[in-house]
Every structure is written in C-alpha cells, then in structure tokens.
Structure 1
C-alpha cells in the first residue's frame, strides 16, 4: 500500500505572495487534492529580522483569495527550533555530524587558499573540544555521488566532493534553514516536495540529512521558474509580480487558478478548464522542464472565458468582493436590479471585473447623469430636440425592445437621419459615455421611469 499523498507550501513571511509562490502553492494543492491527500502550510519564519506578522497575514490572505484551502493549522518553523536542535544532537551522537570550531576568519582564509572547492573543516575527525563555541556540521560523504530522482528533472547527479559539510546548528544553537526544512518535512509526513528548480542544489544537501537519519526521502519535483516575455527571470519590470496586484486588477480567482496551472504544466492542448478538471488532470508528468513565460494576453483570454462561464450569482459575488477589496462601496439593491437584465451580455465581452463594471457604469450611477467631455459633444440642439421627441413618443407602458427601437427609428427618420444618429445622444443621456452596451439594452435594464427621467434631463 502506498503512502497517502502529503504536500506542503512553505513560504518565508518577508513580503507579499509572489506569483511564482502562488503557482507553487497551486501545484501542491492540485496534486494533494487530486490524489485525496493533504495540503499543509508551513511558515518559514526563522529569519526573525525580516519575518513579520503582517507578511504572514498577507500570504494567508493571498492563498485564501486564490481559493487554496490547507489542512490543519499553519506550522511555524521558528517555534520548532528545539526539535531541530534535538535532531542535530542526535546526528552528533550517531556520528553523522560533528562539532566544528573553525572561526569565520579561518574559514575565509581556507577558501581563499582553496578557490572553487567546498570548505573542508579540520575538525571533521577530531575529538578534542578547545572551547564551548562551535557549530554542528553534517558529516557528509566525500566520495561517490548523491543522486536526486526528480519527478520533473529526471535523475540529477551531484558529486559528493563538490558538496561541503553544511552547518546544521549555528554557534548560538539556532538551526539553519537547510536543516530545519528536512526535519519539518519529515515530521509533517510530507511525501512530495514540489518547489522551484532554484532549490535543486538544496535537494542534494537535504537528501544527505534524510539518508543520515535513515528517513525515507520524499519525492522531489523541481519546477522551472516563471520568466517574463523576454525570457528573463520575472521581475517588476515585466509588470505585476505580487498575487495581490492581480486581484486588484480584477482577474477572478478561478481564472488565476486556470492560468497559473498552465504556466509550466499541460494536459494535452487544453487551455481552458474548470477547477474540477484541473484536480482530476494534474500530475507531475505534465510539468515541463523549460521556464514558463508570463503572458498577459493569455491571462486576459483565460479571464474573459471564466467571466463568461460564471452564473449571475457567482459573478455578482466576484464583483462585490472586487469592490470591497478596492475600497469601493457595495452595490445597492437598485444597482443590482439594473445589472441583472444585462449581466449575460456584459460578461460575454469583459476580460476583467473592472472592464465589466466600466460597461455597467450606466447602471451604477444616479441622476443627474454627468457626461464626459467626449460624450457631451453629442448633445447639440438637434440631438436634444430628438431626445425630447423620443421622450414624448415613449409615454406608454409598452416598454419592449421592439417598441423602443421603432420609436427611436421613427424620430430619426423624421429628421432624415439613420438610427445611429439618435443612438449617440441616447448613450450620453443614459450613461454619460460614448462606449456603452446597446442603448436599448440600457433602457430595458434601467426600466421605464428611470430611462425616461434621464432622457428628460437632457431633452431640449
């Protein structure tokens, strides 16, 4: 019987959740959920100078927004320092570690005299203890090779004579990151470590700790990093790099999950898929070895598809969450009632939530409608006169699209004009903008009384 799958995401709380970290978390979440396993969260907060509660909360908020739930409570790496020290001393006792008394100056001098070679401590095989201040180093094998059977990269071989005896415990008794990670992953029962390929060299060193303790190695899967469109490592010059920035730009969380899943992983030619499909399809074999490239056009395409597929209730919830996150007032019942009739049309064209809200501007504003500079040019005396005639022609209760179109057409033809000539001032009167949904869709969504009131405000 195979072990149940346990994955983890282990961010350092030193800033916002990077989009690369978000993708790593997603891959771990998909693999665990797709295999009926557990997805754990560990906060690697041993760097006390840079770790902050605010950064921790920002990471948790980012994961919540992305829709990635974790099992159990987040584990603090810092809180487990005694356990890390216990294992280091256990390795010291069984001969897999040793006390090193070399000073920083001595180490620097050795490296200067032996360039391009890993540090070899003179204390590795000594038993004398000159003073109380020392670090505990792993007694790593110096001959042969350490092979990482990586689920993405294949077998990766490291010569042991190129790896130094890494420090497990510092002279103040605090654990190093490399040591703490292994102890935590073992104690948490992690079976699969899915992380960026910048940790591949770390895997060789960490595997030596697993071997020294007689612990079963987890499955390693090192995924390529995300690059910008120019093929270089992703940075702020390429655009947004924090997950919170994508939320602020109005990409729905489900669209981000779809897009991030496709950044470096593939299931045939499928580009657009649901969460259920992603959980069912995701496997480590589908992860490529080449760096993925962030592409905003593809993201917009994915986002637009997901917006178009949402039912109205979900979309209204997304809009409410977006407005709240951007300190915008909640939609009123009147605004929602105006939105509902036209939501199906708006979501077919919108690529982001703010783009949809921009098209829904007419439904969110109240009288008197203020026209922008471009739209105001459509309200000349002739146009205002046509609006006055149309207002008079619509003083009945038969408020249907056919009736509205026919009335507008009749007024325009009476002036020897086409329907488009009355549509422009209509847009201005109803929305105050030149780019809007169909004027008749807006009139139907606003309802008879509100639409006529807006026309009367601008009529000549």
Structure 2
C-alpha cells in the first residue's frame, strides 16, 4: 500500500517550530518512501480559528519549502462525512446524552449541535483519506486509545501512529507562542533564512525524547545558509543590488544583511574631528589611483596600505557608512564609486 501521511494544523496563525517539526518529519517520511503528504486543516472548533490563520500556515509551509500533494482538506467542509460516521458510531456503542451530545465511552464525539469534535473528525479523516501513518508529537499519546476505539466503532482500524518528542523552550515546557520568536513568521522577520530553519528541523528528525530548542545551533545554520546562497539570492533576500553581495557575506542573518546594505546605500551622517583628517586624505589619494569599478584585490590593497601607515580605519568606516560596525571595510570601499567615496569623506571631514 502506498504511504500516505498527513499534516493537520489548526488555523491559529503562524506555525511555531514544534508544529513545523511535525510538518518536516511528515514530508521527510513520505519522501523516503515515495509517499504522499496530505495537508488537512483541523478547524472543527470555531473558537480556535483565527482570521487569516490558514493563510499564515500555507505561507509558512511554502516558505519552508514543504510541499503537499493533496489538500488543503478543511474539516469545516466535511460535515456530511462526519454525520454519516456519527450514525455508524451510534449503531456500534455510542450513546446520545440528554443535551444531544454523543459519547463513545467517556469521549464526546459530537457536540449538542451535532457537529463533530476533534476526536471524531480526526479519526474519520484518517480513515476516509487512506492515511497509512500518523506522525505527530508525543503530546497526542493520550488520544491514541480513544481514537483506536473510535476507529473500531466505525468499522476500521487507526493507521500506524508514530509519536515524536516535543520541541521545548528554555523553561522545559512545550514550545509555544509564549516563548517568543519561535513562530516561523517571527523567525522569518528575524532574518533567519528558510534553509536554516529547514536544516535545523531535519537534523532533529523524529526525536525519541523531548528536546530543547537550541537557538545558537539555529543561528549557526543561518550563517551556513547565507554562505551557501549565490550572490543573486543573497542580494534579493537583502533587497540590495547584486553588486553589494560581497559586503553582505559577513552578515549573521538577513536582517543584518539588509542593515549592511543600508549602510552603503544610505549612510547615516557623520562628522569627524581633525584627528581623522590624515587618514581621510590618505584614503582619497589611494582611491584616486584606481579606476572604477574596484576589484577585490584593489580594495583590499587600499585598506592594507592605510593599516600599514597607521591609518584610523574606524574613522574611515564611520566616514563611509556612518556606523562604527558593519561589513568588512574592503567591501565598503569596493562598493562605492570614486566620486561617492570622495563626497562622503569630504562631508565627514567638515566636522
């Protein structure tokens, strides 16, 4: 039988990393076996549905590069299927309470208004969609026996279930929005490349036990992902001209890369005292000896010469970018045409 797995988030907004781990694990499981990933939106509880929540999830999955072959299947659009399943359950041991709710043992499978609860809808969908393996976090372990009972009442058997360890915050509790900067949208806003997030989650795989989020490891993957980008990809991610790619290479994330680009394209004003004038003047002399555009070797030689004569490289950086820290100085020198470099040191030298 072909492998069919599902990822079934509730539409409560951007995925946090714990849910993203489940998505990546399902995609990897299907890929390794030539299988299919079904995207299902578990929206049986209107109280948990957030406006724009489904769109946020779809955007996160696409950003992470997680494709699905079928779906999204929305539980809110499958009421007829659940009504038919409920009728079968009532024929095989389920009972109706005085208020109209339906129970199977201790578990409520339909609300008083007749709508399916998560437990019933989840089992019905797994059976109806031909899911062969359910891969989910270990916080769902308590649901296993209940869902197996429901499946049998419906005349079927629950798919094979694989529970993986949870991703925990620094406090040792299940990762959630309260931990901050752990939602996929937040990581994207923080400038963490999608390849870094995906690589980190793939490395975790299907953890047997709970694991704490290693933010420093994720940051390491971000640096590696930026290093692996082509000049065109990096420049596009930083909303910068491709000519600035060398200056963006030292960035630790894409927010910093955009900051580096801004320093070169739109520097903050700076004013230097007389002590910096010899360095600025010597830089102007050296820069005048090279035609535009500067090669890397030429830019490095200018910086190297200034350093050899005791030039104030911090003052030069401040004059060219308006900042004390930023991309490697030679990349700034290489990025600026001679007239613009001269204009900036003249303006800064007037201070």
Query: Aligned residue for 1:149?
Result: none
Query: Aligned residue for 1:391?
Result: 284
SS in 2 for 1:40: strand
**CA-CA distance at 1:252 after TM superposition:** 0.4
- Aligned pairs for 1:161-240 (under 5 A) are 164-236=105-177, 238-240=179-181
- Aligned pairs for 1:39-438 (under 5 A) are 39-93=37-91, 96-101=92-97, 103=98, 134-138=100-104, 164-236=105-177, 238-263=179-204, 265=205, 287-320=206-239, 331=240, 336-340=241-245, 342-343=246-247, 346-347=248-249, 349-365=250-266, 369-371=268-270, 376=271, 379-392=272-285, 394-398=287-291, 419-438=309-328
- Aligned: 1:439 with 2:332: no
**CA-CA distance at 1:290 after TM superposition:** 1.6
1:268-320 CA distance string (max 9 Å, x none): xxxxxxxxxxxxxxxxxxx3322110121111111111111122222223324
**CA-CA distance at 1:220 after TM superposition:** 0.3
Alignment CA distance shift 1:391-1:190 (3 Å): same
1:385-432 CA distance string (max 9 Å, x none): 44235424543445566666666777x6xxxx9544332221111111
- State whether residues 91 and 97 of structure 1, in contact with CA within 8 Å, keep that contact through their aligned partners in structure 2: yes
Alignment partners' CA distance in 2, 1:181 and 1:370: 60
Alignment partners' CA distance in 2, 1:408 and 1:175: 70
SS in 2 for 1:97: coil
1:50-72 CA distance string (max 9 Å, x none): 31441121222222222212223
- State whether residues 338 and 363 of structure 1, in contact with CA within 8 Å, keep that contact through their aligned partners in structure 2: no
Alignment CA distance shift 1:186-1:235 (3 Å): closer
**CA-CA distance at 1:48 after TM superposition:** 1.9
Alignment partners' CA distance in 2, 1:15 and 1:300: 24
Larger Rg, first or second structure (1 or 2) = 1
SS in 1 for 2:102: strand
Alignment TM-score, normalising by the size of structure 2: 0.88
Alignment CA distance shift 1:456-1:244 (3 Å): same
**CA-CA distance at 1:438 after TM superposition:** 3.7
**CA-CA distance at 1:44 after TM superposition:** 1.3
- State whether residues 408 and 422 of structure 1, in contact with CA within 8 Å, keep that contact through their aligned partners in structure 2: no
- State whether residues 85 and 169 of structure 1, in contact with CA within 8 Å, keep that contact through their aligned partners in structure 2: no
Aligned residue pair count: 348
Alignment partners' CA distance in 1, 2:226 and 2:214: 18
**CA-CA distance at 1:339 after TM superposition:** 0.3
Unaligned runs of at least 5 residues, structure 1: 104-132, 139-163, 266-286, 321-330
1:232-277 CA distance string (max 9 Å, x none): 33345643232211111010011001112233x3xxxxxxxxxxxx
Query: Aligned residue for 1:14?
Result: 12
**CA-CA distance at 1:337 after TM superposition:** 4.6
Alignment partners' CA distance in 1, 2:124 and 2:266: 58
- State whether residues 194 and 223 of structure 1, in contact with CA within 8 Å, keep that contact through their aligned partners in structure 2: yes
Alignment partners' CA distance in 2, 1:400 and 1:179: 66
Alignment TM-score, normalising by the size of structure 1: 0.69
Alignment CA distance shift 1:98-1:212 (3 Å): closer
Query: Aligned residue for 1:125?
Result: none
1:66-125 CA distance string (max 9 Å, x none): 2212223311102111211111212333xx124334x5xxxxxxxxxxxxxxxxxxxxxx
Unaligned runs of at least 5 residues, structure 2: none
